[in-house]
Chain A
Amino acid sequence: MLELKHIGYTVFTDGEQKDILKDVNLTIDERFVAITGPNGGGKSTLAKVIAGILTPTNGSILLDGEDITSLSITERANRGISFAFQQPVRFKGITVRDLLSLAAGKKMSVTEACTYLSEVGLCAKDYINREINSSLSGGELKRIEIATVMVRGTHVTVFDEPEAGIDLWSFQNLIRVFEKMHEKEGGSILIISHQERILNIADKIVVIAGGEITDIGTPAVILPRLLDKAGTCQALTEKL
């Protein structure tokens, strides 16, 4: 179980104070928890605070009762937190096999790599020796990113907008990946998303706007409210 208590994150730019997160209190022990809200509302910051990439200026984070607020990224990773980046990082010279092996903590065979890559719609034979560089498309990188967190099989996994750039590979497959991960590892999967189809499968939806939790509840309760709000803009309503 992951608990966020009074989390605040404040930065100073040009002498001006900006509160990116304000007193966020949240408990995550469900299967799937989706975080949504407008761009710039603080969702990605919250995900980075959980992974240890950013240190909150206020509050504490507890993982299964242990205070992990002061732990480094590495220590949190080793305690069982995984993080899938919104924009996967490229590496010159590091191959798909290298990255999966680093995630697994051991050298990975083609057969083992195939188990994970096939889940994200990639053929291991075609990809295992490819470098994680600009020769891969955004969608391919995104799927490899998802495969690396699957390999880790940790208790808490945070996905920052996993649907972004998932070209031909359908949402249904992405949802199947989440379900399989939960079947295998249990624990909680935290998904930052704007996609209704992903929000629909969540056990709990958390809406963050202006650095605060503005709404929280089941999809049945939250989704109609979100769609209603979107209705304030005619153009957006037509697109939804």
Chain B
Amino acid sequence: MNAIEKNLLEAVADLHDVPEGAYNIRANGESTGRVTTANIDIVTKTDKPGIDIRIKPGTRNESVHIPVIISKAGLQELVYNDFFIGNNADVTIVAGCGIHNSGEDESRHDGVHTFYVGKNAHVRYVEKHYGDGDGNGKRVINPHTVIVLEEGASMELETTQIKGVDSTRRITDATVADGASLTIREKLLTHGDQFAETDFTVELNGVDSSANVISRSVAKDRSKQRFLSRIHGNNRCNGHTECDAILMDNASVCAIPEIVANHLDAALIHEAAIGKIAGEQLIKLMTLGLTEQQAEEEIINGFLK
């Protein structure tokens, strides 16, 4: 692995070396490293590109890293990763995609991740997207996440895109069964002429199912963002969706929260706020000795922390 690839790996998965536990590293369209454990198996799909990750019931305190890096300009791929998480398991899955493009052609990773989370299992899923390179070729990442939560299961999805991805369409479709809960935290920063679209749909089908979808984003320069969040309450359930965006320069943000109650005991809330950094926030930090630019950076860093 060269320095560029190591840098990408660090940016998307905080990895300086091979991770502990199970992992599969995909670099430029090929699996370049894989380790399985007694409880976690990783198998290459035979019918299409991608892997199956099978986690045994009751597996606890283990992690799986499946980072994807593309350093070859112009490489485009569509990958299917399926996660089968056994009942009562409690695991952390770290994914993410980093693209370095120093060429003229578009580099693109489209990933379809499907999670089947068994009864009373808990999954923390961390996903980071990052791009760099000085070529004119676009860096495009389109993740599609499908989540099926069985009775009593819970999943926390932390998805972050901070830098360098020119275009992204991030789709998440989830169904939540009795007593299951889904938490999504999205952090997004776009700059230059980037475009990002987020599209969450959560079906709260189960009795006492719940969902909390929180997005914080910053749009700089001429970038454009579109945020759609739909929560459908089809049973006695609790749903909350919140989009909070800081707008800068000539950027544009569109937020469309949608809550649909199809059951009398569905309790659903949506909140959306878009605005520039409040002048009084800048002034407060400047009275502590920061310059206006430093104050702006601190406010954005805190907001996206």
Contact of A207 with B by CB under 8 A: no
Contact A93 B284 (CB under 8 A): no
Contact A93 B302 (CB under 8 A): yes
Which residues from chain A contact B285 at a C-beta distance below 8 Å? 102
Contact of A103 with B by CB under 8 A: yes
Contact B284 A78 (CB under 8 A): no
- In Å, the complex CA distance between A95 and B301 comes to 11
Q: Would you give the 0/1 interface string for A77-120, flagging 1 where the beta carbon is closer than 8 Å to chain B?
A: 11000110100110111110011001101000000000000000
Contact B281 A89 (CB under 8 A): yes
Q: Determine which of B286, B292, B302 lies in contact with A92 in the assembled complex, contact meaning CB atoms within 8 Å.
A: B302
Contact of B3 with A by CB under 8 A: no
Residue of B nearest to A84 (CB): B287
Contact A148 B288 (CB under 8 A): yes
Contact A73 B283 (CB under 8 A): yes
Main SS at interface, chain B: helix
Contact A91 B302 (CB under 8 A): yes
- In Å, the complex CA distance between A95 and B305 comes to 10
| Given A72-B286, A73-B286, A102-B298; A91-B281 close (CB under 8 Å) | yes
Which residues from chain B contact A93 at a C-beta distance below 8 Å? 216, 301-305
List CB contacts (< 8 Å) of A9-59 with chain B.
51, 53
- In Å, the complex CA distance between A51 and B291 comes to 14
Which residues from chain B contact A92 at a C-beta distance below 8 Å? 216, 244, 302-303
Contact A89 B291 (CB under 8 A): no
Smallest Cβ distance from B222 to chain A, in angstroms?
Answer: 24
Contact of B78 with A by CB under 8 A: no
Main SS at interface, chain A: mixed
Residue of B nearest to A85 (CB): B284
Contact of B47 with A by CB under 8 A: no
| Interface size of B in residues (CB-CB distance below 8 Å) | 22
Contact B289 A77 (CB under 8 A): yes
List CB contacts (< 8 Å) of A144-183 with chain B.
148, 152
Contact B280 A94 (CB under 8 A): no
Contact A91 B286 (CB under 8 A): no
Contact of B290 with A by CB under 8 A: yes
Contact A105 B281 (CB under 8 A): no
Q: Determine which of B291, B298, B301 lies in contact with A74 in the assembled complex, contact meaning CB atoms within 8 Å.
A: B291
Q: Determine which of B287, B298, B302 lies in contact with A73 in the assembled complex, contact meaning CB atoms within 8 Å.
A: B287
- In Å, the complex CA distance between A73 and B290 comes to 9
Contact A83 B289 (CB under 8 A): no
Which residues from chain A contact B278 at a C-beta distance below 8 Å? 89
Residue of A nearest to B281 (CB): A89
Which residues from chain B contact A98 at a C-beta distance below 8 Å? 298, 302
- In Å, the complex CA distance between A98 and B288 comes to 12
Smallest Cβ distance from A68 to chain B, in angstroms?
Answer: 14
Contact of B112 with A by CB under 8 A: no
Smallest Cβ distance from A168 to chain B, in angstroms?
Answer: 25
Smallest Cβ distance from B215 to chain A, in angstroms?
Answer: 13
- In Å, the complex CA distance between A91 and B281 comes to 7
Which residues from chain A contact B248 at a C-beta distance below 8 Å? none
Which residues from chain B contact A94 at a C-beta distance below 8 Å? 298-299, 302
- In Å, the complex CA distance between A113 and B290 comes to 20
- In Å, the complex CA distance between A105 and B291 comes to 13
Q: Determine which of A72, A89, A105, A152 lies in contact with B284 in the assembled complex, contact meaning CB atoms within 8 Å.
A: A89
Contact A77 B286 (CB under 8 A): yes
- In Å, the complex CA distance between A83 and B283 comes to 10
Which residues from chain A contact B291 at a C-beta distance below 8 Å? 74
Which residues from chain A contact B302 at a C-beta distance below 8 Å? 91-95, 98
Show 20 A/B contacts (Cβ-Cβ < 8 Å), sorted by A.
A53-B283, A53-B287, A72-B286, A73-B286, A77-B288, A77-B289, A82-B287, A85-B280, A85-B284, A89-B280, A91-B299, A92-B216, A93-B301, A93-B305, A94-B298, A102-B285, A102-B290, A103-B288, A148-B288, A152-B288
